Chain A
Amino acid sequence: MEKNTKKGNQVEAPIEEELIRQKAQEIYENRVKNNIDGNEKDDWKKAEKELTEKSNKNNPTKIRKPADLKAIKNKKNADKTVISPDDKEKEEVKTSEQNKTINPENKKGVFAIEDLLKVGTEFKSKEGFIFVITKIIKPANEKEEGKVEAIGKDQNGKDTLFSFKANQLKKQLEDGYIEITKVSDIEEKEETEAEKKLRVIREEYLKEYKKCKNEMHRQLAIEKTSTKVFNALAGIKNIFSKKKIEKKVFKEEDFFTEKFKETKERYNQARIEMGNEMYATRKAELEKAGLSGEELELALTQYKATEILAKTIIDERQKIIDARGPEKTALWKKLVDGYMAIKPRWKRVALSTAIFLIPATVGVGVAIAGGAAGATALAGLGWLFTTRVAKSLAVGVAIGHLSKGVDWARKGSDSRFKESQEMKREELQSKFAKGEIDQIEYEKEIEIIEKEDKEKARNRTLLKMGVGIALAGTAGYLAYDAFGHGIASADSGIDAHTGADMSNHIPNIPVHGSVEAVADHGQGAISTLRELQHNLKIEYGGDLDNAPVGVKHILETDPHKLAMEYGMYKPGQVDESAFDLHSIKVDGEGHLTYQISGNHTDINTDNTYDGKMFDSDHSGVKVETPVQETPSGDYSTPEQVDPITGEPMNIDHVNTVPEQVDPITGNSIPANGIPTETAPLQGLSQDQLTEVGEVSKENINHLFPGKPELWDKISSRVSADRLLELGKGGVQPEYQPLVSYIDHLKETSGLEPIGPDLTHTAEPIPDYIHRALEKIEAAGKINEVKLSGGVLPIEHAPTITPDHITTPTIEPDHIVGHEATPEPVAPTENPVLHTEPVVTPEHVPTSGVSHEPISSNATPETIAGGEPISLTPDQTISSMMIINDNQLHIFGDNPLSSNLADRIGGEEVGKFIHSTVENSHWKDLYSGDRMGLDSFKEEALKNIHDNLSSYLHKLESVSGLHPQVGSTLESSETVSHFINRTVEEITRHGDLDKIKIK
């Protein structure tokens, strides 16, 4: 048996202890090896008890010689031992590449556990779990114990924050039950004077606080007893009235002494001093880094809002809360842990924000009234979710959350659009903050931006799984809004921590990505180019100032001409149309490329289309261009002189058709080529064509007053004949006037919209309007189809009487809305100004088809991209939450879930529902290394598939809506669109609970 030997503070362990430890170690190892059973556990406890007794007896000091203990415990794997002494008085920790170790072979070393117990140190429990110290909590006063917080895995392998009493932890380390496996390399900073002062005053403050609190508890106890006695007596004396004394309400403030208040004042002052110290240090650093002026000011403001706020307010408050020992029960721990475990995170953030910002003066009743997001149980907090602020916060947070874990792939242009929208908001907020605009004006403007967001989000996410995210996108950009209307917010460009100028990363001019149109329904080059124009309009909005030249050119040029320019349409040839065009794309710099089906290489159009051409009209003859070729050579026309100006005329204008005007935009179209897929009406004069263009443009403006986006949306997506077909079943109210207009053009012109055949796409609405108007103009009936200021205001029936119909060709029945308005309003000179185009289904009979008003109960068929009746903000949030929660349930937390969801979201819902994991389509869906989906286990995929299928069926049954089947013109409905559509419908009916996945 060895005897204790001392060397400085070192204490050698007695041999009995070693034996006990060996025994304990054997038991432990055996236990681990064979799993725990009761007897071994008892043995372990017994050995542990003996060990503790021995240890207490032989080792009264805190300083131990863990090297020896470790050596004993880790005999079998000495190389893993972690503590390394040397011959110095105080042990020096050696640094290996990763770990600081203490050499077990050298028993002379002494190691002070306190030196190693610091943030970043890693230790291993006896069960083999690894913990990393995250926080050292020093005792607030002499009576209290210090604590150590460490993060480690719980039994389920989940990262969890554990709290240890510092002394117990030290003891276990000293005794070798647990071992340090890595010593922090983090150098703990010396406590500054301000910090030290704050610590001391904090202790005083807590001491006084507890005195006050104890007094309150004492009074409370007295009061409780008194109340009981009094009530008992009252009950006896007056058994009928049972009158009891009112419960006295105790507030801790009532027990605050003058000394406490004075201490609190000093405590706050100490916090300010520490904050100022931090501020000054930071300022010096930033100035040294070259910051000055507004940049410096902003960086410091951000530093205050992060580091200083955290240190002087949040951490201090937390220390005070942590130090209130008596209240800390198991229940307390559950409450705190439960709160921090609220998932998803956005919910916790939203709740936190609601709690922190809850106004102090709003009544409970009012507060409860909101109850959005199914959070009525939140009592007064519920109403917060009904405001724009809370909405934008909650949704913005959702974006943040999803962008991390389940980012449903919002890409490219969305972020740029977002930046642009945020700039608009910031400008508005700034104006509001400066008082340049009032709140009403501010909110009005914000609503416009929201609409733009919504429009954008909807358009861009049709192929995305996260339609809920689309809603989130709508308001997610308003995250700044969450903190109040009119509060300027800015991403300064200066990193709050480093002070680095990040402004270069925040482009002021939006950068645009590639925009593509795919000929996925067999459409030709012209239609595809038109679609490309539409997509470009969405991408660039109205901002063409910074658009590349190529983009401007495409947007400003008729698609027919573009098709000719790119060699995709050659009207002078028998095989006049591009045959196997797959897609056309414009990159961010305006370069246009195309792809031929089966060839995935982009082809630059510098060389024009060189793919196969075909005879699209099966005419077997050349399609003559309507533009006369300019004669050349001997037959060229002599120089022409303008008879009015006497100036030479441009040769291009000679012997060509007069200048033509785009019927929709009113823009002048170069006359050297306006081929159309349908034969243009010949013989109209320039004036007539100009009038056609003007009427067409004005009518469209009249049909969609102030909402050109509605026209943009439908004009390139739905053909004229399809629109009329849809009109039979009822369309969105805002499109009903257009249906009536087209119908009226058909009646007046006698021309039918051209439908699709095997080789042609159907006639687009603008083309049909153009063609019909030309015919009507040629027939001298153009006034009959003028909607604004003319005789036939389509959607303003109240201002029209049959008397205004100037020709017998228009029957009163064709006046849309006439029958629906029992009392026609007297005509005015300008009927457009007379009434607002509030159009409801009841007001708009489907002219020419049926005069029955559309039932308000009928589910209106949504025109592609059309927007059903808007949900309220509450409903929007609720539906978004359900969609997101359900998606999380279905797809789980796999980081690749977003990829998978993205992929499935673009699938046709009908096909998906009927697929199985085993069939080839499903396998194809999941294949592809580039998606990284191979990491999903087959079982997981099957579960996802089954759950999603069940979910889609559920949506179908609850909503009563079925997946929309595609046609030649329109693709079938995608999974994401179906989810969006059905959940919106379900939300309207208040049935969200029925689809929530538990």
Chain B
Amino acid sequence: MASQAKKYMFNEINKNIVLTLGINTLPVEKQKEAMERLGAIVYQEVMLRVLDILSEEDKDEFEKLIEKDPNPETMFGFLSDKISNFEEIVKEEAEKLRDESAEIISEIGK
């Protein structure tokens, strides 16, 4: 995919969700807080699904790994190796939250 197209797609997603939620109207620090919390929700949803998928052996290995090196790069690297559709899971959970947020927030204060 051409980088311009990638950018455009990313922009469109940002544009829609951020405009819908009104995050663009907030001061930068508040924007960060909002994104931090929303991202944390997606992260937890992803991890819940991941824990459903991983075998017990993989879970043990994962636990040891994050004890040793709790960096997100390590976590995501491991999960990408172990779960072939890990990225899809992330995308799906992100999309679910975006859709749900947009659906509910857009109905408020109409």
Which residues of A pack against B, CB within 8 Å?
249, 252, 268, 271-272, 275-276, 279, 283, 298, 300-302, 304-306, 308-310, 312-314, 317-318, 321, 324, 327, 329-332, 334-336, 338-342, 347-349, 351-364, 366-367, 374-375, 377-381, 383-384, 387-389, 396-397, 400, 433, 439, 479-480, 482-492, 496
Interface size on B, residues (CB 8 A): 78
Given contacts A332-B47, A335-B47, contact A486 B9 (CB under 8 A): no
Q: Contact: B13 with A489, CB < 8 Å?
A: no
Given contacts A336-B47, A360-B95, contact A400 B29 (CB under 8 A): yes
Residues on the B chain within 8 Å of A479, using CB:
28, 31-32
CB distance from A472 to the nearest CB of B (A): 13
Contact residues of B: prevailing secondary structure: helix
Mark contacts of B72-97 with chain A using CB atoms, 8 A cut-off: 1 yes-contact digit, 0 otherwise: 11111101100001111011101101
Residues on the B chain within 8 Å of A375, using CB:
73
CB distance from A528 to the nearest CB of B (A): 38
Q: Contact: A379 with B76, CB < 8 Å?
A: yes
Given contacts A349-B35, A400-B32, A487-B14, contact A272 B109 (CB under 8 A): no
Complex Cα distance, B69 from A342, in Å, reads 11
Partner of A362, one of B6, B79, B104, B109: B6
Residues on the A chain within 8 Å of B66, using CB:
334-335, 338
Q: Contact: B72 with A279, CB < 8 Å?
A: no
Complex Cα distance, B54 from A453, in Å, reads 47
Indicate the member of B14, B25, B47, B72 with the most A CB atoms within 10 Å.
B25
Q: Contact: B25 with A486, CB < 8 Å?
A: no
Indicate the member of A275, A318, A335, A397 with the most B CB atoms within 10 Å.
A335
The 29 listed contacts between A and B (C-beta, < 8 Å) are A272-B108, A275-B104, A283-B109, A301-B22, A305-B22, A309-B105, A310-B37, A314-B38, A317-B45, A324-B48, A331-B62, A334-B66, A349-B32, A349-B35, A353-B35, A354-B39, A356-B97, A359-B91, A364-B87, A364-B88, A366-B6, A377-B77, A379-B86, A381-B90, A389-B14, A396-B28, A479-B28, A483-B14, A487-B18
Q: Contact: A351 with B72, CB < 8 Å?
A: yes
Residues on the A chain within 8 Å of B42, using CB:
352, 355-356
Complex Cα distance, B97 from A321, in Å, reads 13
Q: Contact: A367 with B87, CB < 8 Å?
A: yes
CB distance from A68 to the nearest CB of B (A): 44
Complex Cα distance, B64 from A577, in Å, reads 74
Which residues 1-33 in B have Cβ within 8 Å of A in the complex? 1, 6-15, 17-19, 21-32
Complex Cα distance, B52 from A338, in Å, reads 19
Complex Cα distance, B97 from A360, in Å, reads 12
CB distance from A311 to the nearest CB of B (A): 10
Residues on the A chain within 8 Å of B91, using CB:
358-361, 380
Given contacts A381-B76, A388-B7, contact A306 B70 (CB under 8 A): no
Q: Contact: B36 with A275, CB < 8 Å?
A: no
Q: Contact: A362 with B22, CB < 8 Å?
A: no
Q: Contact: B25 with A351, CB < 8 Å?
A: no
Q: Contact: B105 with A308, CB < 8 Å?
A: yes
Indicate the member of A276, A487, A496 with the most B CB atoms within 10 Å.
A487
> Which residue on A lies nearest to B87, using beta carbons?
A380
CB distance from A407 to the nearest CB of B (A): 14
Q: Contact: B39 with A486, CB < 8 Å?
A: no
CB distance from B69 to the nearest CB of A (A): 10
Given contacts A275-B104, A349-B32, A479-B31, contact A302 B14 (CB under 8 A): no
